[in-house]
Structure 1
Amino acid sequence: MAETGPSTAGVDVGGGVVLPQVGFGVFQIPPDEAQKAVEDALAAGYRLIDTAAAYNNEAGVGAGIQASGVPRDEIVVTTKLRNGNQGARSTREAIERSRDALGVDHIDVYLIHWPSPARDLYRESWSDMEAAVGDGLVRSIGVSNFLAEHLERLLASTSTRPALNQLEVHPTFQQRELTALCEQHGIKVEAYSPLGQGADLGSPVVAGIARRLGATPAQVILAWHLAHGRVVIPKSVRPERMAENLDVTGLRLSDADRRAIDSLETGVRVGGDPATFEITQIR
């Protein structure tokens, strides 16, 4: 029976940036806990760290990177433009603030966090981001939570396509049409809340596959993402869980396993709806 597994080469998002398929997300990690979490993640072997200005923990992330002893050029740092800073000029200022908070001379991947359609400023922000790449402040640029209408509008107004679209994707919310559109345009997909914020771990289908493979439900779901070619950014503050989440690159799912998890789609989000989401700061 055929088996599917992850790419061993990582995911190329341009600008000399190659994303490991399993990264470490810091959403909802308090600012005073972010440094230790990042140090622990880097010690466990993670080399992709994902944060955002809206998480209010960039300084802690930067401190963790500095204290880790891992060479900066081995770490891919992603952060994001919060809604309240969208627009011409204010985007450039936000990039500078994120660089200062993180303590880095460049940001590897910079994303527009939400399309924030009520503001209708993401195209102006994109122009500032393109300029930041030209000036060496950012290496690769992309978007997050962009639906088809936002992507198509942006693509129609720029010659630089987003390298990445970071989306809520998990077994019960797969966004198949949107991910297919991204693939059609050469836009890589990165899954946040890859376990459905824990809700998908209780699936009997997932549990059955996990028992048969001698893996945990989390490992099975992460392996399913990797088999679909996505980057994933699970979050945990527990070192043993960090190591467990990272230890999936050798786990192979059969095509039947993958199809069984594919069948869990319910169309139910656990996060905000990009068509309406307008919060400017998470914490």
Structure 2
Amino acid sequence: MKTVGIVAATLATTALIGGGAYWFYKRRQKKKDEEEVDPEDLPNDADDDGVTEPVTPDEVRPRGGFMDRNTLPDDVKQKFVEAFGGYAPPKDEILDNLTQEDVVLFGVKSEPVPGYPSVREEILTAKVRTVEDTVIRARISEPPLYSAHLGSHAGHGFRIGEMVEVPRGVIIFAARPKPSEVKGYGEYGRPAGTFESSHVSKKSYDVHPGTPYDLVMPYITDDIEFHVDREMVRFELVGTKGLRQQIVFKEGSMHGDVTLRALDRDPKTGLVFVARWNFHIEP
């Protein structure tokens, strides 16, 4: 397989990318079923005495690292062979020429923490932001399955929307997605979160640029306008689905707190308040 084929290949393989998590899941699930968990490894509150022994939150937060691509399971490599006629991680000459239209795939592995001794592995997809000498800076673009702890399995802590510095040596695959046929709602993929209005929920939401989110609208009309209270914040209204308005904050928007308001321009009374969302834009 020619190396250039890795980049030239379009992601009609979206199913392949998303499926990577499924292959890893099956592999890990089988091992889990064959293993017995040591009672000493169970969470501190797993007994039936009704008493929960506190654990320092930082000790149990989900965390993980990058997988060595040389240890990629044979069944996963075979999927690449079937799709592209071979398997060969991208060389530096390919990575040097990646643009912001491209994505990279890499594996992550969770780190066992107190109460969660079992490990999860997952392939993630991230959209390239910058190409650097030793890493590719990219934003995770698909919702991971195993970010959080589940049962006795530790979560890896990598989440959609987060910027990650991916070492070149762990990148499994690099490609340019073919243009999506979806326009409007869903054009940027599945939403990373669904947010009720802050004046109802009393919450402020953490969001990332370049990532789709759904706003729950009390109602939608053709005359609704959206306004932010900071000039250095840019956003795109992607589309609606029922009473959900999808939105993406643009890369380059200033980080920090911002308030987004939906106002209805009534022909008789002028602008009428509809809803408000308080956000904190993270890197």
**TM, length-normalised to structure 2:** 0.25
Q: Which has the higher contact order (CA 8 A, sep 6+)?
A: 1
Bigger Rg, structure 1 or 2: 2
TM-score w.r.t. length of structure 1: 0.25
Which protein is richer in strand relative to its size? Answer: 2
